Amino acid sequence: MDYKNILIENNDGVVTLIVNRPHALNALNMETISEIGVFFTEDYKTIQNLKGVIITGAGEKAFVAGADIKEFLGIESPEAGSALARNGHDVFNIIEKFHKPTIAAVQGFCLGGGFELALACHMRIAGEKAKFSFPEVNLGLLPGFNGSQRLPMLVGKAKAFELLMTTDMIKAEEAVKLGLANHVVPQGEEISKATEIIEKIATKAPLAIAEIIKTVNAYQDKNSDGTEQEIASFGQLMTTKDFEEGTSAFIEKRKAEFTGE
Ligand code: DAK
């Protein structure tokens, strides 16, 4: 698909999806969300040997400065607003459930819907100038892309209340302390750190990585039983060629060559 709002760069299977609306600090309009959805449901299949996806924003100033405020107006009924929210939920859930690692490389402002996009990723790398905030209540809103649920999972309920109700801006170091970001790196090195992590994961058994994603996500999912998911995933992995290869390689004192079978 030809995208208008995102760029896709493929670096030997490590894909960087760039939200490319720098004139609006990469704010997410509905078209951008839909293009992200097309990439994660369809277009990723065209990438050979996909190792993982890094999501970032164009330019140095912002990862994503929220949903596009200029698109909010004109929604005429609660049902229409809820339908838009559900659409965003669906796309962000696909990112969270993606079978390969997804990492947000956050430089500059990471606000509102942008913060929610970063929270939908499996991990977050913060540049030292990254700034995180949920400003929704300044606009008379609350997060509409599941941020009110993902945030307390990471920081606990009390801190989530504080961040959502005060709109306080958090810097990179504090984001790591709170468990929101995995690492802080010098500004400009967010993508290289994310690439390093994805390349490391790519040396592991791919089916096991996919089952880790399912199982850890089940921990957060009120409709799933994470313990049962782990037991089922464990059973499935024990019958894979990758399991045979991993154990044989250990016994033969050589590096495993996984095929994802
Ligand atoms: N939307 C649209 N345009 C934005 C934008 C945004 N969120 N953020 C920045 N821009 C635009 C500015 O309007 C400006 O455009 P021009 O005036 O040059 O045409 C350009 O980007 C540069 O921004 P500034 O001139 O403001 O730059 P500054 O350095 O002075 O300030 C800032 C940077 C990040 C502090 C400031 O731009 C700012 O406060 N931006 C808004 C942050 C914000 O409140 N974001 C929204 C959070 S609420 C929904 C689901 C979810 C949501 C909504 C609906 N539904 C299902 C319907 C989520 C809501 C949110 O994300």
What share of the chain has pLDDT > 70, as a percent?
100
Cα 99 to Cα 26, 77, 82, 211, 237, distances in angstroms: 26, 36, 28, 8, 15
Distance 128 CA to ligand 1 centre (A): 21
- Residue 60 annotated in active site: no
Statement: residue 21 has pLDDT above 90: yes
Residue count (the chain): 261
pLDDT of residue 260: 94
Span 207-225, average pLDDT:
93
Q: pLDDT at position 42, please?
A: 97
Kindly report, residue by residue over 107-122, the tens digit of the pLDDT: 999 999 999 999 999 9
- Alpha-carbon distance of 209 to 169, in angstroms, equals 33
Give CA 15 to chain center in angstroms: 13
Q: Is the pLDDT of residue 75 over 90?
A: no
- Residue 92: its pLDDT value, please? 98
Ligand 1 binding pocket, CB closer than 6 Å:
24-25, 27, 65-70, 72, 81, 84-85, 88, 109, 111-113, 135-136, 139, 141, 144-145
Query: In the chain, what are the domain boundaries?
Result: 6-201, 206-252
Share of the chain above pLDDT 90, in %: 93
What pLDDT, in 10s, does the model give residues 150-186?
999 999 999 999 999 999 999 999 999 999 999 999 9
- CATH architecture for the domain at 6-201: Alpha-Beta Complex (3.90)
pLDDT in tens, 23-56: 999 999 999 999 999 999 999 999 999 999 999 9
CA dihedral 226, 194, 32, 70 (to 10 degrees): 100
Rounded alpha-carbon distances, angstroms, from residue 223 to 41, 84, 86, 140, 153? 22, 22, 17, 30, 15
What is the DSSP code string of 157-172? HHHHHHHHHH---EEH
Ligand 1: centre distance to CA 25 (Å): 7
What's the confidence (pLDDT) of residue 73?
83
From 136, 199, 211, 245, active-site residue: 136
Which of 116, 245, 257, 261 does the annotation list as catalytic?
116
Q: What pLDDT is recorded for position 27?
A: 98
Compute the distance from residue 35 Cα to the ligand 1 centre, in Å.
20
Mean pLDDT of 72-96: 92
How much distance in Å is there from the Cα of 165 to the middle of ligand 1?
Answer: 18
- Confidence at residue 254, expressed as pLDDT on a 0 to 100 scale: 95
Confidence of residue 74 (pLDDT cuts 50, 70, 90): confident
Mutate to test the pocket of ligand 1, among 5, 21, 23, 25 (most ligand atoms within 8 A of CB): 25
Q: Is the pLDDT score of 220 beyond 90? A: no
Active site residue 136: yes
What is the Cα–Cα distance from 45 to 22, expressed in whole angstroms?
Answer: 27
Q: How do 109-111 and 131-133 pair as beta strands?
A: parallel
**Best residue for ligand 1 mutational test, from 29, 36, 68, 69 (most atoms within 8 Å of Cβ):** 69
